[in-house]
Structure 1
Amino acid sequence: MQSPVGIRDVAQRAGVSPGTVSNVLNRPEKVSAETRAKVEAAVRELGFVRHGSASTLRAGHSKTIGLSVIDIGNPFFTDVTAGVEEVASELGYAVILCNSAGSRTKEERNLLVLAEQRVRGVLITPSDEDPTRLDRLRERGISVVLVDHPAHRPDQCSVAVNDIVGGTTAVNHLRAGGATSIGYVTGPLTIRQCIDRRTGAERALGGAVPLRVTEMPAMTPRAGQEAAAKMIAEGELPDAIFCANDLLALGVLRGLMHAGIRVPEDVALIGYDDIDFVAASAVSLSSIRQPTHQLGRVATELLLDECDHPGTHAHQQIMFQPELVVRESTR
């Protein structure tokens, strides 16, 4: 087996000292453009790969960031991740993706692994409101930015969408279409997004009629189909159903159609997130659109600015506004 190419091999090929090669790799501003070009050419010709762990030990951190999400199977987070990776790649960082599945225990294990890997910073959609574990990361010198979750403190960056406005917008649209009774199919009401979307829906109703809430243990198409079956079994269906995300809405749509209930003629239906699938469903779904890709990009820009410029970085709590997208499932 051929021995790996080392700094001495690169130095010999470029006709410079090993120290000069080290400077090109770690402190290029100390080396003339002509010498940098020779060393970089030698690196390419020999296929030299620097030893990442050694540079990590010297710097105290790696050229990686962590991203912790609560549901890796949700296309919403796929789009957020694409935005994160895009900015990270532009700035020479790699991304370690972790899935908490909404479990605090699993999330804490993931954060410990990220800390052990000496990540530069962490982007996280937290599984609950307790900031303790995130404070521990910051005490280790690891920057943290909240994604799809507002910060409630001035020394914390966050990027989120106003889900109360989103819930209000969804129900106002259903009422404008003639709905007088409205159901809300949601995941666990321990999840901040589910709570805020319910709050917005109730705000739109203004106490005139109650919001009929069906809480499910997950936010998946299967859970949505089970929710539809449960609502049908309970008796009279509402005129319209608002779902806390599009995956639930797709399941509700399937459950209603299997029971011979027409959408939107019998029951209007709206989801949340505007993932790609909903425009191509059997009845294209109306939805509340979130700027998912932009969430990932802006959050990463904030995180790396905090990492690279701790002395001048200004913490920001950015709140985007959602957008109504009307399709065939509502009147």
Structure 2
Amino acid sequence: MSIDGWDEAPAGATRPSPSIKDVAALAGVSPGTVSNVLNRPEKVAGATRDRVESAIRELGFVRHGSASTLRAGHSRTIGLSVIDIGNPFFTDVAAGVEDLASERGYAVILGNSSGSRVKEERNLLVFAEQRVRGVLITPSDQDPIRLDRLRERGISVVLVDHPAERPDQCAVAVNDVTGGAMAVEHLLAGGADRVAYVTGPAAMRQCQDRRRGAERALAAAGRDPRDLREVAMPAMTAAAGQQAAEKLLAQDVLPDALFCANDLLALGVLRGLLQAGVRVPEEVSLIGYDDIDFASASTVSLSSIRQPTYQLGRAATELLLDECDNPDTHAHQQIMFQPDLVVRESTR
């Protein structure tokens, strides 16, 4: 009798675990080839790899992970630490990371810092205890010390959605200064006079850069960058966006254009404005950042600055695995993607 292709052992019997030699014999390859499929699958031809993987499934082979980890000093895992896994931006980044890692025979351990340095440090400690090959991280702040501790342990680190501060560090990011400028240029082109910026925690590099871009666009249009009104929220969620809308509505003069530091804030602002009877975009133009899937599906479809989120994850993973697998030839890179403007119903 079998369940999902796994043969059941007779009652009271213990089935011996299949070995690499058993897999090799069934697939018609050498044990070294099986080892390569398990540890360096990119080095094995596709047809051969398929035969070995078929034999692994047929035999129900499971390698002894702890033993191989002790021999190699590390595991076939990488760590991914993000600021907010509830934000679809990071979900898409994680999908890019996991897809490429899986293709290369790696598993991914996910840590969610919630923007907390303390929680982030706990995540990094767990990664180190699990002997991960490397870590991908969107750091909660600019302090590099905890990342240097990982490198001292021989754990490679790549920054995700965050530019590198030094040349010996790989990083993949999006030009948020350009993105912020694009957003405000679009608002000004639609006739905006009073522009406000709804943002998150001041310590976040992304919030700072997007504001710099907004100020740059105002200056280029002959406006005083100091005229940019700011509503800073402790979180970058839809609930925080709705609270920001309430703050704006309580002011004497409502801005006629709003740039939000991410789409979740913008969607919350949109809900708050519509509930108050404010027409978008007739009375207030509104643009977000990230272009998450919900942006196009909202009651008033949201204009946004699009980031290549999935590509961010894959590119960062490619750099990390190259550094892990080829330490002698690896060249550190800082990859900067460019954002795109997506215009929908929420702006004039």
Normalised by the length of structure 2, the TM-score is: 0.87
1:6 to 14, 17, 24: 17
TM superposition outliers: structure 1 runs of 4+ over 6 Å = 36-42
1:292 to 306, 309, 315: 309
1:304 alignment partner, SS class: helix
- Which of 274, 283, 293 is 2:300 aligned to? 283
Instruction: Report the equivalent of 2:212.
Output: 199
Amino acid at match of 2:325: D
Alignment of 1:186-225 (within 5 A): 186-206=199-219, 207-208=223-224, 210-225=227-242
**1:275-320 alpha-carbon deviations (Å, 9 max, x no partner):** 0001010000000000001000100000000101111111000111
SS of aligned partner of 1:265 = coil
For 2:23 and 2:331, the matched residues in 1 are separated by 46
The alignment yields a C-alpha RMSD, in angstroms, of 2.5
- 1:27 Cα deviation after fit: 5.9
Distance across 2 between alignment mates of 1:47 and 1:314:
39
Secondary structure of 2:250 counterpart: helix
Greater displacement, 197-206 / 72-81: 197-206
Aligned to 1:85: 98
Matched residues in 2 for 1:66 and 1:285: separation? 33
Aligned-partner SS, 2:165: coil
Change (3 A) 1:56 1:175: same
TM-score by length of 1: 0.91
Matched, 1:50 2:59: no
Indicate yes or no: 2:254 matched with 1:237: yes
Any conservation in 1 of the 2:75–2:133 contact (CA below 8 Å)? yes
1:47–1:256: structure 2 CA closer, same or farther, 3 Å change rule? same
CA shift in 2, pair 1:205/1:132, >3 Å? same
For 2:136 and 2:310, how far apart are their aligned partners in 1? 14
State whether structure 2 residue 184 is matched by structure 1 residue 171: yes
Distance 1:127 1:10 in 2: 46
- In structure 2, relative to structure 1, the CA distance for the partners of 1:4 and 1:262 (3 Å cut) is farther
**Closer, same or farther: CA 260–92 of 1 in aligned 2, 3 Å:** same
Amino acid at match of 1:79: D
Rate the CA distance shift 1:8–1:94 in 2: closer, same or farther, 3 A: closer
SS in 1 for 2:184: helix
Is it true that 1:259 corresponds to 2:276 in the alignment?
yes
Q: Which runs of 5+ in 1 are unaligned?
A: none
The secondary structure found in structure 1 opposite 2:171 is: strand
Give the corresponding residue for 1:128: 141
Matching residue of 2:35: 26
Give 2:111's aligned residue. Answer: 98
Q: Once the 2 structures are TM-superposed, how far is the Cα of residue 44 of structure 1 from its aligned partner?
A: 4.5
Measure, in 1, the Cα distance between the counterparts of 2:175 and 2:324. 27
Candidates 260, 272, 283, aligned match of 2:289: 272
Q: CA deviation at 1:39?
A: 8.4
Identity among equivalent positions (%) equals 73
Q: Secondary structure at the match of 1:234?
A: coil
Asked whether 1:314 is paired with 2:331, we answer: yes
1:114-138 Cα deviation digits (max 9, x unpaired):
0110101000000000000000001
Letter in 1 for 2:93: V
Q: What is the CA–CA distance in structure 2 between the aligned matches of 1:134 and 1:66, rounded to whole Å? A: 13
The aligned amino acid for 2:299 is: A
Q: What residue ranges of structure 2 are gaps of 5+ in the alignment?
A: 1-11
Per-residue displacement from partner, 1:207-266 (whole Å, max 9, x unpaired)? 526100000010001100000011111221111000000000000000000110000000
Q: Separation in 1 of the partners of 2:110 and 2:20?
A: 35
Question: Take 1:198 and 1:13, find their aligned partners in 2: how far apart are those partners?
Answer: 58
Answering whether residue 134 of structure 2 is matched by residue 113 of structure 1, we say no
| Aligned CA distance change for structure 1 residues 40 and 21 (closer, same or farther; 3 Å) | farther
Local SS of the residue matching 1:107: helix
Report the alpha carbon displacement of residue 160 of structure 1 after superposing the two structures with TM. Answer: 0.2
Output the CA distance in 2 between the equivalents of 1:38 and 1:186.
52
Q: Tell me which residue corresponds to 1:301.
A: 318
